[in-house]
Amino acid sequence: MFIAPAGAVVEHPLSDDVCINVACMEQTQITTSSVQTSFASEIEKVVDKIQGNVPKVEWDFEGIHYFDNGPLTVQYLFVLDALNFCFWPDKDLSYDHLASGLKLALEKDKTALDADRLKNYTGPELRQLLNWPRPLPIEEERVRLLHEVGLELERSFGGQAANLVKSAGNSAATLIELITRHFPGFRDHSLYKGRQVFLYKRAQIFVADLWGAFKGQNYGEFHDINSITIFADYIVPAVLRELGILKYGSNLSCSIDSNSEIVPGSEEEVEIRACSIYAVEKMRDLISKKFGKQLLSIDIDLWLWSCGVQNMALSHHRTLSIYY
């Protein structure tokens, strides 16, 4: 079993449909019915190719986020990450539209993301807020999650996401625990062969956004930031597959390459996301052992994600989900 410190629990090995080449520093080969792990793996090839140097990608490298160095930025990021999921059903919609839309809305009206307004937004009002001309994918869920955020921020945190962050005492793991306790919409977990698998993509990315936006200071200061895993979405697994790190069985490959939907909570979906986390943790470990460099999974994720969004030809799995 692989246990990520911030809460991602991954059973390993998984099933026949996802094969992960994991760099194993013990010079052994482990072969099971579902996973082959060998020293001469694709992860090691990738690590050697980059010589352990993961290109540094700055937070907000696109220039699309709101930032005022204060509590309103925290409010913005929490709302952003509450809505940060499932863009692919609309081919013209992307994360950039969400981030920049909320930014422009705040620049026009500093109260746009106040808790008492969040709990009352309708679908058409959300579209107007984002300046989007048609219904959003899973729009009713996005509205429900806005209401949940507004109501619980008012009930427990004086309406301010900044108070939520302060209550975590500069601990990333504590903040994730608080978010998932108070906001059910962030409880990104599935049942996998009788075991619960916790991935917490959006809760973790909120921590990462704070850390990146505030450059590890003020609201972005976390003494355990290295406990955060990558954010298992649909872009990073596609990049790992392109690199040869993730290998899919023929049925799963056909489903992904033909743009067929993968059922949320299915074994295939859980495995794609869980194996992505496992692979990057192994990549990070190998970089440390071979090159003596201590990297954050956040940095590796941002590099992989930035590569993925610039390659429009990448085939990714398609799952209708509120979690990513």
Q: Annotated catalytic sites, by residue?
A: 233
Beta bridge partners of 197: 190
Provide the residue type at 105 as one letter: A
* CA dist., res. 303 & res. 324, Å (int): 18
Query: Could you tell me the two tokens for 41?
Result: 């793996």
Q: Which of helix, strand or coil describes residue 310?
A: coil
* CB-based contact 220:214 (threshold 8 Å): yes
- Distant-in-sequence, close-in-space partners of 38: CB < 8 Å, separation ≥ 6: 21, 24, 29, 30
* CB-based contact 188:202 (threshold 8 Å): yes
Give residue for tokens 């972005």: 220
Number of H helices, E strands in the chain: 13, 8
DSSP string computed for 98-154:
HHHHHHHHHHH-TTTT-HHHHTT--HHHHHHHHT-SSPPTTHHHHHHHHHHHHHHHH
